[in-house]
């Protein structure tokens, strides 16, 4: 009987110890900084919630790895082209600025590999979902000027649809498939549409217009002066 | 017939031919550019042959067309306009062109379809629809997906407007009939045109087209060939 009692006591002590340990782990996890949210499979921290719209002066993207934890695989061995054309109601510069969270004059500093923009970060299993807009790249942009006058500077990580995986190309209308470091664009960014749950704060490149001689060229609107882009961006986005 | 009469007759015939060519040429010149295998980014560089073939389904000889199975997802029915019925009307329109373009036929099987049509959230209020392709190096389409944006308020009033609502979001309206014909045009291999001479004009209301125009049909004939 006493043996049984002492046995029960040992079990109770073990249970209490386990509960205390679990509580300790939960407490530590709750106290851990939000900045440890996983990026693309979980290896690299990202500043959770730090968006250009919320923290314009901060560098968003320092230290973020642009690649997934596991290299993305093309859907099959055959070299195919996947292309998507979207049809949109044309937007004026004002419309674009108003629906963006930031507009910056920036150069491409680093280009990440193409990766799947799916929950599993794997190729979709249903063929109707195997579309080129479900592939994207992370890019690090070096901001030359925040045209929306919100004080953003340094570098920012953003995502651009499309890319190349193996010998297969994933093309999305109006986004270049080949991105070159050093190329300069007017970027219309939206931080409200992260590509993956683990990439909060990473802005979507809604439009990217190549800049040459203070003129940005829109595929639909043609040449627009940077001064006009800046005026529109400041009108709707400046604090 | 004297030589003089013969010469006059020949000159009259030549004049008629020149006049006819002036009437016909603008239509022939106006057919759509076609989507090249370089992708939509390279629109305009597609010549339709050699190193720059255009996107197309398998072509046939004679009066035959290949059959292409189209699956119409149930999501199309739940919109402001019955997009599934509009899709069926659109398929009939393309099947009615006197060309060897694919014969679009509805299938209820998702294992055999070659074009999948659905309504989905495209996460961009100004995006009306999107067409995606899988093509090989010769531009041969093996599969296409057409999506219509559920964020759009669909109507048949030819109303292309956007407005900002509370919270700073945009809401756009669009004409289902024209957008359906436009997206199926992409799925057949047509690209955008710069002037409003057909349903393949992008983003601009233009004239009130609820049916395929000569320019659209000429584009299809250019890709697949007319019935001999």
Q: Can you give the residue ranges of every domain in chain B?
A: 35-224
pLDDT at A21: 47
Could you tell me if residue A94 is inside a domain? yes
Q: How does DSSP classify residue A78?
A: S
Distance (Å, rounded) from C-alpha A65 to C-alpha B139?
Answer: 35
Question: How many domains does one find in chain A?
Answer: 1
Whether residue B202 contacts residue B192, with contact meaning beta carbons closer than 8 Å, is answered with yes
Lowest mean pLDDT among A31-40, A102-111, B44-53, B113-122: A31-40
B6: helix, coil or strand?
helix
Residue B38, token pair as written in the block: 């370089």
Whether residue B135 contacts residue B165, with contact meaning beta carbons closer than 8 Å, is answered with no
pLDDT at A60: 54
Chain A and chain B share a number of CB contacts under 8 A equal to: 113
pLDDT, tens only, A185-223: 999 999 988 899 888 889 999 999 999 999 999 988 899
Q: How confident is chain B (228 residues) per 10-residue block, as mean pLDDT? A: 51 43 31 46 46 76 87 94 96 95 95 96 91 89 96 87 84 92 92 81 72 88 83
Work out the mean pLDDT of chain A and round it to a whole number: 79
CATH number at residue A143: 2.40.50.120
pLDDT-based confidence at A34, cuts 50/70/90?
very low
pLDDT at A12: 54
pLDDT at A5: 52
* Residue A130 Cα, gap to closest chain B Cα (Å): 9
pLDDT at A173: 85
Cβ within 8 Å, pair B41-A132: no
pLDDT, tens only, A51-84: 444 434 334 556 678 888 788 888 888 889 999 9
Domain B35-224: assigned CATH number: 3.40.390.10
State mean pLDDT over A153-170. 93
Q: What is the ipTM of this complex?
A: 0.80
Whether residue A192 contacts residue A175, with contact meaning beta carbons closer than 8 Å, is answered with no
State mean pLDDT over A42-51. 32
Positive or negative torsion for Cα B147, B152, B157, B159: negative
Whether residue B210 contacts residue B88, with contact meaning beta carbons closer than 8 Å, is answered with no
Could you tell me if residue A15 is inside a domain? no
Name every chain B residue with its beta carbon within 8 A of the beta carbon of A132. Answer: 132
Domain limits for position A120: 50-237
Q: Is A175 on the interface with B (CB under 8 A)?
A: yes
Question: How far lies A166's CA from each of A70, A161, B41, B79, B96, in Å?
Answer: 14, 17, 20, 39, 41
pLDDT at A71: 82
Could you tell me if residue A182 is inside a domain? yes
């Amino acid at each position: 009987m006493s043996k049984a009692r002492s046995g029960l006591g040992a079990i109770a002590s073990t249970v209490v110890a386990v509960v205390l340990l679990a509580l300790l782990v939960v407490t530590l996890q709750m106290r851990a900084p939000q900045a440890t949210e996983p990026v693309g499979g979980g290896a690299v921290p990202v500043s959770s919630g730090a968006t250009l719209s919320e923290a314009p002066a901060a560098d968003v993207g320092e230290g973020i790895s642009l690649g997934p934890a596991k290299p993305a695989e093309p859907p099959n061995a055959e070299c195919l082209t996947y292309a998507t054309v979207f049809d949109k109601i044309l937007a004026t510069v004002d419309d674009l600025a108003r629906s963006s969270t930031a507009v910056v004059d920036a150069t491409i500093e680093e280009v990440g590999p193409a990766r799947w923009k799916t929950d599993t970060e794997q190729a979709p299993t249903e063929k109707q979902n195997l579309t080129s807009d479900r592939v994207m790249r992370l890019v690090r942009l070096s901001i030359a000027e925040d045209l929306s006058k919100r004080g953003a500077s340094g570098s920012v990580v953003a995502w651009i649809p499309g890319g190349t995986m193996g010998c297969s190309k994933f093309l999305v209308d109006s986004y270049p498939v080949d991105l070159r470091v050093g190329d300069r664009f007017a970027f219309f960014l939206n931080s409200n549409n992260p590509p993956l749950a683990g990439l909060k704060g990473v802005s979507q490149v809604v439009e990217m217009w190549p800049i040459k001689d203070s003129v940005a060229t829109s595929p639909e609107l043609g040449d627009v002066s940077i001064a006009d882009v800046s005026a529109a961006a400041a009108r709707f986005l400046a604090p | 017939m004297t030589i003089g009469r013969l010469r006059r007759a020949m000159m009259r015939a030549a004049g008629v031919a020149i006049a006819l060519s002036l009437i016909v040429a603008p239509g022939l010149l106006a057919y759509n550019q076609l989507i090249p295998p370089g992708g939509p980014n390279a629109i305009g560089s597609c010549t339709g042959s050699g190193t720059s073939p255009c996107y197309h389904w398998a072509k046939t000889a004679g009066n035959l067309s290949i059959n292409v199975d189209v699956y119409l997802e149930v999501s199309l029915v739940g919109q402001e306009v019955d997009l599934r019925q509009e899709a069926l009307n659109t398929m009939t329109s393309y099947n009615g062109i006197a060309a060897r373009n694919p014969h679009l036929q509805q299938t209820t099987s998702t294992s055999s379809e070659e074009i999948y049509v659905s309504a989905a959230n495209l996460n961009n209020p100004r995006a009306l629809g999107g067409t995606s392709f899988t093509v090989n190096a010769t531009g041969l389409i093996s599969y296409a997906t057409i999506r219509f944006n559920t964020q759009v308020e669909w109507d048949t009033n030819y109303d292309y407007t956007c407005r900002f609502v509370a919270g700073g979001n945009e809401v756009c309206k669009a004409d289902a009939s024209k957008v359906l014909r436009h997206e199926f045009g992409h799925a057949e291999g047509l690209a955008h045109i710069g002037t409003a001479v057909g349903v393949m004009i992008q983003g601009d209301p233009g004239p009130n087209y609820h049916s395929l125009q000569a320019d659209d049909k000429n584009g299809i004939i250019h890709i697949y060939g007319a019935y001999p």
